[in-house]
Amino acid sequence: MNPGLKLLLTILIALEISFTTNLVVNLVLIGASLIYLLAKKIKWLSLLKLILVPFIPAFGLLVSQLFYGHGGPIYAWILFSRIYAYVFIGATFTITSDITELALTLEQNFHLPAKFAYGVLAAFNLIPKIQAEIKIIKTAGMMRGVPLHFWSPKLYFKAILAAISWSQNLAEAMTSHGFVEGQARTFYQPMSLTLKDWLSFGSILVLVQLLIIFAPTLP
């Protein structure tokens, strides 16, 4: 499916289950996402991470509801399974899409102005450099005996200094490569949004509605 449409679908479903208190719905959505992920040949390590990482917050929420909530054990388990539903539904998007395709389709099919699509994409491609820069800033601080933590204004100050100079450089580099703000563009990699995409989007959405309406509620 088209990545933009797929993102919209995962957000819509996640939004809906936030207001749905039905254990069966959550379990069916987790199961369906799991089958999809297995069909897309997800790596076992990634799958293991998907199961382990949310466990601590999900379990914390469960215990808290059992101790202090007025909703009863089923409600507590609904919240527990809801976190897993978010994670598995989210993974159906993240495992199968990449950010370049998302930016391209948002520009071409969803009428996002090109400066947003390419500007944000350019920044996201710097993530590894940003991670390295934070290490450099922290190490430089330590060499002068100044530890910089996530609550230190100086850490953010230095990070923003780097961001200011990089944003200037990137914008100039893009301009010198022929990027003009607000100009019509031709596409090197055209993205398609076909009738088939819309049909699968629509049918999955309808199926989820039927599930939410007709799923039995546990006592």
Q: Is 69 in the site for other proteins (CB under 8 A)?
A: yes
Q: How far is CA 138 from CA 120, 152, 154, 158, 218, in A?
A: 25, 11, 10, 10, 52
Candidates 136, 140, 142, 161; binder of other proteins (CB under 8 A) is 161
Q: Which stretch binds other proteins (CB under 8 A): 23-31, 88-96, 104-112, 139-147?
A: 88-96
Q: Is 93 in the site for other proteins (CB under 8 A)?
A: yes
Q: CA quadruple 198, 13, 115, 97: dihedral positive or negative?
A: negative
Amino acid sitting at position 106: L
CB 30 within 8 A of CB 85: yes
Count residues contacting other proteins (CB under 8 A)?
78
Q: Is 178 in the site for other proteins (CB under 8 A)?
A: no
CA distance 43 to 55: 19
Helices 44-52 + 72-94 axis angle, to 10: 150
Site string for other proteins, 190-209 (x = CB under 8 A): --------------------
Nearer to other proteins, 64 or 194 (CB): 64
Q: Which stretch binds other proteins (CB under 8 A): 103-111, 150-158, 183-191, 207-215?
A: 150-158
Q: Where are the alpha helices (DSSP H) in 144-188?
A: 153-176
Q: Is 151 in the site for other proteins (CB under 8 A)?
A: yes
Q: Which stretch binds other proteins (CB under 8 A): 55-63, 186-194, 199-207, 208-216?
A: 55-63
CB atoms within 10 A of CB 58: 19
CA distance 103 to 119: 10
Nearer to other proteins, 116 or 198 (CB): 116
CA distance 87 to 144: 42
CA distance 161 to 167: 10
Q: Which stretch binds other proteins (CB under 8 A): 37-45, 120-128, 186-194, 197-205?
A: 120-128
| Min separation Cβ 156 and other proteins, Å | 5
Q: Is 188 in the site for other proteins (CB under 8 A)?
A: no
Site string for other proteins, 22-51 (x = CB under 8 A): ---------------------------xx-
